[in-house]
Amino acid sequence: MLHVNGLAESDKREYDGLHNLLLLNNLEVPQLIGEFAPPCSDMFERCMWKGTQWRCDNLFQMVNTTEGLCCSFNYYGTRGSNFDKKLSTSVPTEPRRVTASGYQTGLSLILNPDVANYHTTDIATTGFKLLIHYPYDFPDENAETKIVSSATEAYVSIVPKETYTTIDAFSLNPTDRNCYAYNEVQMSTMERYSFVNCMVECRADQIFRQCGCVPYNLPSNGTMKNCEMIDMPCLSENWELYQTAIPLLNYSVTKLGDRVPQVCDCLPSCETVQYPTEMSYGKLNRTFSYNSLAFFKDINLTNQSAVHIYFNDLVSTRFRKDIYQNWLGTLGTLITA
């Protein structure tokens, strides 16, 4: 009945009936989704960070993504957090960092996919979807995505790529250098400016203007109404406003180099970090294994998944955004000629 992706339609009377049922129970859609979503404590059986076992609720919090509610590690994209208040004082104020490479110094997890409770899925498999992204970026389709199936052990090695902007380039105005620094634009909901964050806020603004509400999984500054069941027909009719790369754009690039018209007025980020990954996996079988006995202690392995996420090396590829030629270079070219 909850057709919100534009692929199907449902009778408006069904939405109205469900809306009235939620009102009788004093529930809103975000609360309803939270009730149906499995809690992080049920999904994580064991967590290890940099070789030390941690309580999983100290590392993971429930956050909104374009995929729905997800359990997130090292996420600082929005103001505030969803950690338990009793644990909030132990959560670092900045993203956790590693000091070495290799799976022993990264994040290792034992995940319980709860296969018995699967009904319908977007992907024909059981397991988990990993979204790997910058800690201050909203988790959306732009994130590096990997699938970890049930009853497997996966090793996900990250080979990061960074782009930075020089001081000379920063001396230009943002339009000329074609980028914004993370602190040059004040965001309404996100902690820092980035192209990803700007676009997700733009999508939320566009759908709010059209339907008068914001889908539960998009960021809201608290002044915009959350979409309820009676708003679902409008969301279904205008799904392209918040589920496409550029809202309100029906445009074909016919010539390489053509500039795509911008609706959101979002410039690229002057500093970016991308996380390309390589993954290898196999069947999870502890019958003849003797390593990391403590990590698997007292866990009866049935359909669980084990995943190790780590940096492949101590170094990364770094790209520079700079002025191609300044007045001194131009003068030197003229003198040489």
Q: Which of 1-5, 132-136, 202-206 has the lowest mean pLDDT?
A: 1-5
Residue 323 pLDDT? 86
pTM: 0.85
Strand runs (DSSP E) across the chain, as ranges? 44-49, 52-54, 60-65, 68-73, 107-111, 127-132, 144-149, 152-158, 161-165, 272-274, 277-283, 305-311, 317-321
Residue 56: how many CA atoms within 13 Å on its side-chain side? 18
- The residue-averaged pLDDT of 59-75 equals 93
For residue 37, pLDDT over 70 is answered with yes
Q: SS3 for 175?
A: helix
Alpha-carbon span 103 to 84, nearest angstrom: 28
Asked if the domains at 1-27+180-248+258-269 and 37-161+273-316 fall in one CATH topology, the answer is: no
Residue 20 pLDDT? 85
Strand partners, 144: 132
Maximal CA-CA distance, the chain? 82
CA 182, 192, 240, 129 torsion: positive or negative? Answer: positive
- Provide, rounded to the nearest whole percent, the portion of the chain with pLDDT above 70: 86
Task: With beta carbons less than 8 A apart as the criterion, state whether 158 and 251 touch.
Answer: no
Model confidence pLDDT, tens digit, residues 112-151: 998 888 877 778 889 999 999 999 999 998 899 999 999 9
119-126: long-range pairs with CB below 8 Å, 24+? 123/147, 125/149, 125/150, 126/150, 126/303
Strand runs (DSSP E) across 16-67, as ranges? 44-49, 52-54, 60-65
Q: What tokens were used for 245?
A: 């790369």
For residue 250, pLDDT over 70 is answered with no
CATH code for residues 37-161+273-316: 2.60.470.10
Other Cβ atoms within 10 Å of 317 Cβ, number: 11
For residue 3, pLDDT over 50 is answered with no
Residue 72 pLDDT? 96
- The residue-averaged pLDDT of 163-179 equals 94
* Architecture label for domain 1-27+180-248+258-269: Orthogonal Bundle (1.10)
Mean pLDDT value across the chain: 86
How long a stretch of residues is the chain?
Answer: 337
Model confidence pLDDT, tens digit, residues 286-295: 776 656 678 8
Residue 35 pLDDT? 85
* Domain range list for the chain: 1-27+180-248+258-269, 37-161+273-316
Model confidence pLDDT, tens digit, residues 251-287: 555 544 555 556 788 999 999 999 999 999 999 887 7
Residue 201 pLDDT? 94
For residue 234, pLDDT over 70 is answered with yes
- The residue-averaged pLDDT of 306-310 equals 96
Q: What tokens were used for 49?
A: 């960070």
Residue 84 pLDDT? 81
Most confident listed range (22-26, 71-75, 314-318): 71-75
Residue 105 pLDDT? 93
Residue 254 pLDDT? 57
Residue 162 pLDDT? 96
Query: In terms of DSSP H, where are the helices of 171-296?
Result: 174-177, 195-211, 232-237, 240-243
For residue 94, pLDDT over 80 is answered with yes
Task: With beta carbons less than 8 A apart as the criterion, state whether 47 and 54 touch.
Answer: yes
Q: Which of 19-23, 46-50, 58-62, 167-171 has the lowest mean pLDDT?
A: 19-23
Dihedral-angle region of residue 294 (phi above 0 means left; psi in -120 to 50 means alpha; beta otherwise):
alpha
